[in-house]
Amino acid sequence: MDAQGRGRADNIDPADQWVLNPNTGEYELRLPPSGTQSVPGPRRPSAQDGEGARRRRRNDMAPGETREMSQVPAQDGGPEGGGTRTQEGGRTRDGSRAGDKARAGDVPPPRTSRRRTTEPEGAPGRRGRRPVKKKSKAKKVLAWTAGGTAFALIAVGAAGYLYLKHLEGNISSTDVGDAGSKGFSKDEAFNLLIIGTDKRTGKGNEGYGDSGSVGHADTNILLHVSKDRTNATALSIPRDLIVNVPDCPTKQPDGSTKVVQGTDNVRFNTSLGQDGRDPGCTMRTVEAVTGIHVDHFMMADFNAVKTLTSAVGGVEVCVAHPVNDKESHLKLPAGKSMVEGEQALAFVRTRHSFGNQGDLDRIKVQQQFLGSLMRKMSSGDTLSDPSKLMDLAEAATKALTVDTGIKSINTLKDMALELKKVPPKNITFTTVPVVDNPAEKVHATVVLNQSAAPSVFQAIQNDVSFTDVKRKQKAAKDAQAARLKGSKSAPGDVRVRILNSEAAPGSAQAALDWLQNTEGVLKSENAGNAPAGLQKTTLEYAPDQAAQARELAALMGLPGSALKPGSSVVNSQGLPAMTLTLGKDFKGAGTPIAAPDTAPKVDKSTANEVKCAS
């Protein structure tokens, strides 16, 4: 904008821009033709201007000349000291007469050229726009802080992402093929096999015995986390348990698959490392022994115990009497002690300091140690200390080998958060029921206790807690039980197709023969194989087939949870029929498979208990 547009051209006196309107008898501001905007600053003429100035202004205006729209400076320069009021038809927009204050003599004093040159722009009467307010120092700091915080958040977000990718790069993984699940679900129960190997690789481990070990399954815990997250069971499997290791497909470095032949009547620990077996072979062995499908595995070596305990600042253990084990180099006074690093490893390795100096007593000590480690990892001292958390994350990811289904750091985080939902008092530690091996004179190995072990396995298969918990799904269980109540059809009216998913080969035909020849269910047929993977037998039926479903469930001993309301299918005669799919829990025609409501009594401890090893 030029000087004239601002109403203060160098060669024009602002007073000369005011003219008398003969129609109104009032002075009005006369603008140049291009001046269509506010012209702040020039004052109204006053009596002190003299008659000559007024005469000059009257001569500048043609007779009868008026302006429909003119702008008059406000008395005080406007709200911010430099504003104007627009005059329409002789009145300002606020309704006052434009000349009222001029006639009263309330006008700014005469201006001089000096004032025009020394007065800063934006002073009252000089500018038509509001002056820019200067920000206070506090507001400047606030602005910088907000911008800095936003930048910091972006930086931290990027750093957090990079750090997570760094942690993910620490993790080793093994492709176990179809031995486990492909992913992890937050909405289902899951079974995680935790394997501790006796491999001596790593700094400081070469001094332990059996330095050439290929890495056998020395410590094995099958962790079952319930669907409703109210409880979990940590089932220890003795390394000296005699088992049959099944054939095992293993992935080779070149991408090919090699089948390692199975062996019978061998120690459980040979399911890993021996003959090139990978953790998938151990998972398959657990399933063959227990009937429990293993979804995922985590494997750690000696270094894991040392680094994890150091990361959390030590783990508290308790011994009933002083310990001085020359083989493991464990030396502790009676009572409670903090152990970490080499001393922590010695504590979980010793076999000669507790009980009968066998592996079963060592398992109990290891369970107590793991309970203490879990308490320390979830304690406020650890969770509120960023340094400890980062050390723990580094140690855990470097120490772990997992299956490819859970190698993502986000998946491992989700799994940990799901486990964290389980109260420590409802995490049960127990051991597979075993007895001494009767085939040995010196009892160095053990075998399954056939009178006690199956009920333990069945409780885990059916998501039954070993602790007294208030089940979140009680209403669902009541609904399942209600499905068995009500009228039943006659056996001859039951129409069903039978498929086999995970039951023994030939089970569908055996069930068909039994139903037709023994129970009179003549409208039944063998529909072949269903997709593999079903652990529990199911019976799907349409609403109008409920009576048939209750009759078949009663004949076969199916639990209410096996009944799945849905839709019917068409059998080979084109008639609607129910679908019975036999899962891994099917034990044979005529053998009830109803799930137990309570777990059997076992020797156990819980994660919240503090016990002294003796």
Numbers of helices and strands, H then E, in the chain: 15, 29
What is the DSSP secondary structure assignment for residue 613, as one 8-state letter? B
Distance CA 576, CA 582 (A): 20
Amino acid, single-letter form, for residue 596: P
* Buried-state track 69-98, b at ≥16 Cβ within 10 A, e below 16: ebbbbbbebbeebbbbbebeebebeeeeeb
pLDDT along the chain (614 residues), means of 10: 42 56 66 49 49 49 45 42 42 43 46 46 49 50 42 47 78 90 88 85 51 80 92 94 96 91 96 94 96 92 87 91 87 93 89 80 89 84 79 84 90 88 91 93 89 91 83 54 80 96 94 95 95 89 93 88 89 94 89 75 88 85
E runs forming strands in 45-94: 69-73, 84-88, 91-92
pLDDT of 10 reads 47
Secondary structure element (H or E) that encloses residue 523, with its range: strand 523-529
CA separation, residue 477 to residues 298, 470, 544, 559, 562 (Å) = 32, 12, 22, 10, 11
* Buried-state track 252-280, b at ≥16 Cβ within 10 A, e below 16: eeeeeeeebebbeebbbbbbbbbeebbbb
Amino acid, single-letter form, for residue 62: A
E runs forming strands in 38-125: 69-73, 84-88, 91-92
CA separation, residue 151 to residues 144, 159, 160, 413 (Å) = 10, 12, 14, 27
The Cα angle at residue 39 between residues 38 and 41, in degrees rounded to 5: 135
pLDDT of 508 reads 95
Phi-psi region of 473 (alpha: psi -120 to 50; beta: other; left: phi over 0): alpha
Distance CA 556, CA 578 (A): 14
What is the DSSP secondary structure assignment for residue 67, as one 8-state letter? -
Distance CA 215, CA 330 (A): 23
Give the contacts of 230 (CB within 8 A, at least 6 positions apart).
Answer: 422, 423, 426, 465, 469, 470, 471, 472
User: What pTM does this model have?
Assistant: 0.63
Quick count: other Cβ atoms within 10 Å of Cβ 126? 22
Residue in the block written with tokens 């003796």 = 614
User: 565, 541 in Cβ contact below 8 A?
Assistant: yes
E runs forming strands in 309-419: 315-319, 323-325, 330-332, 335-339, 401-403
Write the class of the CATH domain 474-582.
alpha beta
Give me the sign of the Cα torsion angle 540, 545, 550, 556. Answer: negative
Question: What would the two tokens of residue 477 be?
Answer: 């269980």
> Could you give the angle at which helices 302-311 and 342-349 cross, rounded to 10 degrees?
130
Distance CA 336, CA 518 (A): 64
Q: How far is CA 528 from the centre of its chain?
A: 40
* Buried-state track 24-51, b at ≥16 Cβ within 10 A, e below 16: eebbbbbbeeebeebbbbbbbbbeebee
What are the boundaries of each domain within the chain?
Answer: 4-118, 172-461, 474-582
Question: What are the φ and ψ backbone dihedral angles of 582, each rounded to 5 degrees?
Answer: -85, 125
Residue in the block written with tokens 């060669």 = 11
E runs forming strands in 183-277: 190-197, 217-225, 232-236, 242-245, 248-251, 257-260, 263-267
The Cα angle at residue 12 between residues 10 and 18, in degrees rounded to 5: 145
Give the contacts of 68 (CB within 8 A, at least 6 positions apart).
Answer: 88, 89
The Cα angle at residue 266 between residues 262 and 270, in degrees rounded to 5: 75
User: 427, 235 in Cβ contact below 8 A?
Assistant: no
DSSP output for 558-586? --GGGEEE---EE-TTS-EEEEEEE-TT-
pLDDT of 220 reads 94
Question: What would the two tokens of residue 160 be?
Answer: 């957090």
**Strand duo 495-500 + 523-529: pairing:** parallel
Query: CATH topology for 172-461?
Result: Aminopeptidase (3.40.630)
The residues facing 582 across adjacent strands are: 500
CA separation, residue 163 to residues 192, 394, 412 (Å) = 26, 10, 15
Nearest partner of 308 among 353, 273, 340, judged by Cα: 340
The Cα angle at residue 77 between residues 75 and 80, in degrees rounded to 5: 135
Quick count: other Cβ atoms within 10 Å of Cβ 67? 15
**Strand duo 401-403 + 172-174: pairing:** parallel
Give the contacts of 389 (CB within 8 A, at least 6 positions apart).
Answer: 382, 383
Distance CA 482, CA 500 (A): 26
